[in-house]
Amino acid sequence: MVNLPAVEGGIPVRREMLPYGQQWIDEDDIQSVVGVLKSDFLTTGPQIDKFEKEFANYVGARYAVAVANGTAALHAAAFAAGIGPGDEVITSPITFAASANCILYQGGKPVFADIKESDWNINPDAIKVKLSNRTKAIIPVHYTGLPADLDEINEIARKNSLTVIEDAAHALGAVYRGQTIGGLSHMTIFSFHPVKHITTGEGGMVTTDDTGLYHRLLEFRSHGISRERKSLLRDEGDWYYEMQNLGYNYRLTDIQAALGLSQLTKVDRFLQRRREIAARYIEAFSDIPEISLQVNHDDRESAWHLFVIKLNTGCLRVGRRQVFEALKAENIGVNVHYIPVYLHPYYKGLGHPGGLCPRAEELYSEMITLPLFPKMTPQDETDVIEAVSKVITYYRR
């Protein structure tokens, strides 16, 4: 008897929807936040500094600057890098729009370089093709949590006097050639959205080893204001401060920082669970000809923010949309990460044509993101595997 997918009248694998990602908050986290609520400082207090120092230590960076969200982290890094009108910045099209939007916020121009066919990260050879005398920086994205080719990218930057801003929103805890992501380039940004490795509700971080960049980041997150006596144009007393740049109110609260500190104590356990789930998916899907998986590398370790499968739609009777809808009908909360940035209507209006990055567009047309988060149970994993196998088997040519 044929095991019909739910969209074809069959019985769903699950009764309730399994999300693709979800935070894991426990009593320790709650009590950390309660402690701040009972304290004297709800914001601009001691928890911020403590969170920044412990985070910097975890990722192996000299400095960390906490901000309101991952987009604010990208914007702050773009500002600190000196990106301005007329500057071009090369980035990947397979990312959330914020990776490119931060360039526009500074008046710069995003330039999209195609991805590698194997690991779906930005291709260093494609970066070289897109270089011009206006190129100011490179923003590689560690897609799904797998580090991009940082040695090659940083060498391109060195030869051309460019700044590298790593978008590590997916990659907290990832390892590149024996070193933790966070201290390997000029700046690295992280996100603490609830679906990420740790959460502060909303929040972000920029890490750097450069003292000058560090001070620019600090000013930018607080209206461009400086209280550093040695940097003031004049000194009228302890109360005196100066707005020296146009910054933003991108501060994180102590409430959020306390949650982040508590979550940071669990990050290794969260990473281990993500890697266990990913390993089980890889074992289950590696021999299914209708599915291709992201190629990993022996010299790096993914943080597995996302688990993405690429459908070989030529082997199926239907396209990606039908498979996606069938999996949703099985109550598997699949998603798609991402629409190539330049295909969004706003970016098309800026003159970015379709067909700009063929490999990125091909990946987008056939990708589906499966649920992966530490709070998943072994039964949740089994349900995902069963649903994917059921739907693929039914729609196989």
Range of the domain at 179: 27-264
Pair 67, 198 in one domain: yes
User: Among 264, 292, 312, where does a domain finish?
Assistant: 264
Pair 126, 275 in one domain: no
Residue 328's pLDDT is 98
User: Among 264, 296, 328, where does a domain finish?
Assistant: 264
Per-residue pLDDT of the chain (397 residues; tens, 9 = 90+): 568 999 999 999 999 999 999 999 999 999 999 999 999 999 999 999 999 999 999 999 999 999 999 999 999 999 999 999 999 999 999 999 999 999 999 999 999 999 999 999 999 999 999 999 999 999 999 999 999 999 999 999 999 999 999 999 999 999 999 999 999 999 999 999 999 999 999 999 999 999 999 999 999 999 999 988 888 999 899 899 999 999 999 999 999 999 999 999 999 999 999 999 999 999 999 999 999 999 999 999 999 999 999 999 999 999 999 999 999 999 999 999 999 999 999 999 999 999 999 999 999 999 999 999 999 999 999 999 999 999 999 999 9
Pair 80, 206 in one domain: yes
Pair 303, 217 in one domain: no
CA atoms in the 13 A half-sphere facing the CB of 307: 28
Does some domain include residue 1? no
By the 10 Å C-beta count (0-12 exposed, 13-18 middle, 19+ buried), 129 is classed as exposed
Task: Give yes or no: 196 in active site.
Answer: yes
User: What is the C-alpha radius of gyration for the chain, rounded to an integer number of angstroms?
Assistant: 22
Q: How many domains does the chain have?
A: 2
Does some domain include residue 80? yes
- Strand, helix or coil for residue 118: coil
Does some domain include residue 378? yes
Pair 209, 278 in one domain: no
Q: What's the predicted TM-score (pTM) here?
A: 0.97
Pair 258, 271 in one domain: no
Q: For residue 327, what is the domain's CATH number?
A: 3.90.1150.10
Residue 228's pLDDT is 86
Does some domain include residue 258? yes
Does some domain include residue 241? yes
Q: For residue 179, what is the domain's CATH number?
A: 3.40.640.10
Does some domain include residue 353? yes
User: Among 264, 299, 319, where does a domain finish?
Assistant: 264
Pair 304, 365 in one domain: yes
Q: Which residues of 210-229 are buried (b: 16+ CB within 10 A; e: fewer)?
A: beebbbbbbbbbbbbebeee
Q: Which of 38, 53, 130, 196 is catalytic?
A: 196
Pair 34, 11 in one domain: no
Using alpha carbons, select from 283, 293, 263, 284 the residue that is nearest to residue 375.
263
